Amino acid sequence: MTEFVLLYRNTLEARRESHGSPEKAQQTMKKWRAWFDDMSRKGCLKNIGQPLDDAGKVVGGKQRSVTDGPFAETKDVVGGYSLIEARSLDEAVQIASACPIIEIGGSVEVRPVMQMNA
């Protein structure tokens, strides 16, 4: 089995919309919880991960400049992550395709985790 990180991407507007009211936030979280529970039952959820705050800074370049925002010149932001196990990238993509964020126009970036030899 290989580890994959799932990076949940969405626009700030869509993210706020999906949590616009207490009822909407509860419905959204219910869908996420059901998806996480399904992955747990199937044995592929290694770490549920955490949501990420909208605030942040980016440090980069040789001068180590600091800019506002956790986003890299794009309208979408990474809102959270999870760690799963799958036999292949294709299987990980299939697992990610059931993510509730896709229903509201978001996306899931699926990345294999490289193993480092110490």
Structure confidence by residue, pLDDT tens digits, 15-48: 777 778 889 889 999 999 999 999 999 999 999 9
Q: 10 Å Cβ neighbour count for 93?
A: 14
Superfamily of domain 2-112: Dimeric alpha+beta barrel (3.30.70.1060)
CA 108/CA 96 separation, integer angstroms: 6
Q: Report the SS3 class of residue 64.
A: coil
**Count helices and strands in the chain by DSSP H and E runs:** 3, 6
56 neighbors 69 (Cβ within 8 angstroms): yes
| pLDDT higher than 80, residue 75 | no
68 exposure class (CB count in 10 Å sphere: 0-12, 13-18, 19+)? exposed
Of the pLDDT bands very low, low, confident and very high (cuts 50, 70, 90), residue 11 is confident
